[in-house]
Each structure stands twice: as structure tokens, then as C-alpha cells.
Amino acid sequence: MNEKIDRRVLRTRTLLRKVLLDLASEKPLESITVKELTDTAGLNRGTFYLHYQDIHDFYEQYKNEVLDQFNSIIKKLSHTRETREPFIDPPSGYVRPFEYVLEQKHFFKIFLGFGGDTNLSLQMTELINQQFIHAYRANHQPIKSADIPVKQQYLFAYLASAYVGTMQFWIQRDFDLSPTDMTILFSKISRLGSAHVTFPV
């Protein structure tokens, strides 16, 4: 019986999320009402209020789940590489963050794209920054986060910001490169520096 209930809740949540994305592609999140969301989904408001306080709560729970998934993906990235050269054939773990964004492209186009949720880009940037710090500490044990050199911290902040900014530009261009191409491109830019990266005309 519980399994049937869980499936029903899951189906309802999936439907509500799809409708939210459809509505949010046409108007700001703040303009969407619970009545509009549930009417469009063919559900009653009582079902919605069993699990969520309002539209903001519904979106925040949705966003947090997406961020948790993204964080679990970037946490699996290896801490060390034998070479500092850019990727030619990147390991699947480094491609996976871009694959995930592509899999959730409807969500990311709306909320990480132009005019989206500013907090989302900041939260993703911080997750990536923390991963850089975690990797650095793993390679310099037993250093504490507070003891990481200040200029190293600036580098992490720069790279994390550039990573999310690159993703945002990719979204704006409607995912015109593959996740593998994006991984190689970011690897070249971050490891060689923009002054040393050239592309054929």
C-alpha cells in the first residue's frame, strides 16, 4: 500500500514540476499562483498543500533536489591528475556535470539562464568552489580550509565562477556543443589560460 502511495506522490510531484517549468517559461515565478499551477495540472489545491506551503516552497524543494544531485556528481571528481595538460579524451566523471545540466535542460534554461534565479548560479558556484577546496585539502593533508593560501582561494573562486558562467553561456546558445566538447573546452581555458587558447577560424 505504501508503495502505491509513494508512486502516486511521485507522479503528482513530477506532473507539478513539469507544469511549473511550462508556466515559468512564460512568466516570472512570482506571478505563478498555486491555483494556476494545480488547475493546469488537473489537481486540487488540497493535494498541493499536503506537501508544500506555497509556490516558493515548491520551487525551493525542487531546486534543492537538483543542487543535491549536481553536488553528488561533482563530489565524484578525482582529486589528482598525472598531468596538467588539458583533456583530449576526458574521463566520464568530468563530463557528467555537463551531461546532468543537459538532462535537466528545461529547468536550467529557465532558472540558470538569462533572467533566472540569481541565487541558483551563486549556489552552484559555491558548490564547485567547495569541491576545489575539498580536493586541495585532500592533496595537502592535514591542512585546514582556513589555512589555504589566500591567492589559492581567489583562484578557486575565479574557476568556480568561470565554470558556471561557461555553463550559462552554453545554455544561452541552446546547448550547441556536446558535454564532452564543453569539458574539453573548459579544460583548455582553465589549464592553458585564455591568452594561450586559440581556435581555428
Q: Where exactly are the structural domains of the chain?
A: 1-52, 59-194
Residue 31 carries which side chain, given as an amino acid letter?
S
Distance between CA atoms of residues 147 and 101, nearest Å: 33
Determine how many CB atoms are found less than 10 A away from the CB of residue 133.
17
Distance between CA atoms of residues 10 and 44, nearest Å: 16
Non-local (6+) Cβ contacts of 105 within 8 A are: 171, 175
Predicted local distance difference test score (pLDDT) of residue 81: 52
Contact 172, 109 (CB under 8 A): no
Predicted TM-score (pTM) above 0.85 = yes
Predicted local distance difference test score (pLDDT) of residue 141: 86
Tell me the H-state helices in 45-178.
Answer: 45-49, 55-74, 92-103, 105-111, 118-139, 150-172
Predicted local distance difference test score (pLDDT) of residue 1: 44
Superfamily of domain 1-52: Homeodomain-like (1.10.10.60)
Give me 106's grid cell. 528545461
Predicted local distance difference test score (pLDDT) of residue 192: 79
Predicted local distance difference test score (pLDDT) of residue 4: 57
Ordered per-residue pLDDT tens for the chain, 201 residues? 455 558 888 999 999 999 999 999 999 999 999 999 999 999 999 999 999 999 999 999 999 999 999 999 999 875 555 556 777 888 899 999 999 999 999 999 999 988 889 999 999 999 999 999 998 998 888 888 889 999 999 999 999 999 999 999 999 999 999 999 999 999 888 887 777 777 776
**DSSP letter (8 states) at residue 171:** H
